[in-house]
Amino acid sequence: MIRNSVAIQSGADPSNATIEFYWRTTAEDVPQAFFARRDDEWFWPGHGVRLGDRLILFLNRLRSTDTGLGFASAGWNAVMIDNPDDEPSVWRTRTLQTSPNPLGIIVGFASILNWGEHLYAFGSQDPVKSHPIYVARWPVVNVREGDLRTPEWWGGTDVGWIADSSSTPRWPVFENGQAELTIHFDELVHQFIAAQTVGFGGADLAIRSATELTGTWTPPRKIYRPPEYDRPNIMIYAAKAHPQLTGADVVLTYATNTFRFQEHLTDSLIYYPRFVRLTRCE
């Protein structure tokens, strides 16, 4: 199994859209990750953003461990693609410089939001089990030039935004998040909406809201229990909203996994994305 790949979806409605996948290969035509590993670490893609003619992707850097699920985050990276409209096989990709991250926050892996004059990157603190969600930001003009070296961090309502060089503690915008979630602004209700899963193994899909992206956020409200919830060995995670998609008031996705690796090879329903139509009510 390769560590990462790229998929290009054509069409905004998942019920009739098409999708094409891309990965690297060796000279012997053996599949390889699209973003190659470095020494004993590999990459899992997080969120990304299109800024004009450039694409910026945030990557979670992973390493193997002998405990837990067998892996742990080793930090984060970001890459810029200068020609995102071309086929991924000919993308010109460059790694961007980033600042040190002593708190172990997986910057941009949870969600990215282009809002106003800033790009906001949300991420959980690893390996804190309550998944507190922190947020950093940069001026959009800096990000478009590939400069992620000097973010500002949210320091809480009493402090506001603080420089990366400041000794003032960073403050999470909410607790009990997930490593993977989304935050977007809903034009109809004029609120920021966060979509995530609640639970480990069998999990529900939930949303929470706030009038400001830094909070105060409501507690997560469960809105959907996947039909796989009671399946043995199941892992439901990575619930995300996709306001760019059509076919429902809001389109959500989530991922399924299994604690038994062999099931990946024998059951095609495992590790396959699920789409959910969310309908507004009064």
Joined together, the tokens standing for residue 8 give: 């290009």
What pLDDT score was predicted for residue 59? 96
pTM value is: 0.94
pLDDT tens sequence across 111-126: 999 999 999 999 998 8
CA dist 2 → 31, 32, 37, 68, 122 (Å): 7, 6, 10, 21, 26
Torsion of CA 159, 161, 164, 165, to 10 degrees: -40
Mean pLDDT of the chain: 94
At 122-161, the pLDDT tens digits run 999 887 888 999 999 999 999 999 999 999 999 999 999 9
Q: Which residues of 232-241 are buried (b: 16+ CB within 10 A; e: fewer)?
A: eebbbbbbbb
pLDDT digits (tens, 9 = 90+) for 230-256: 999 999 999 999 999 999 999 999 999
pLDDT in tens, 2-59: 999 999 999 999 999 999 999 999 999 999 999 999 889 999 999 999 999 999 999 9
CA separation for the pair 238, 4 (Å, rounded): 15
- φ, ψ of residue 32 to 5 degrees: the values are -135, 160
Residue 128 contacts residue 206 (beta carbons within 8 Å): no
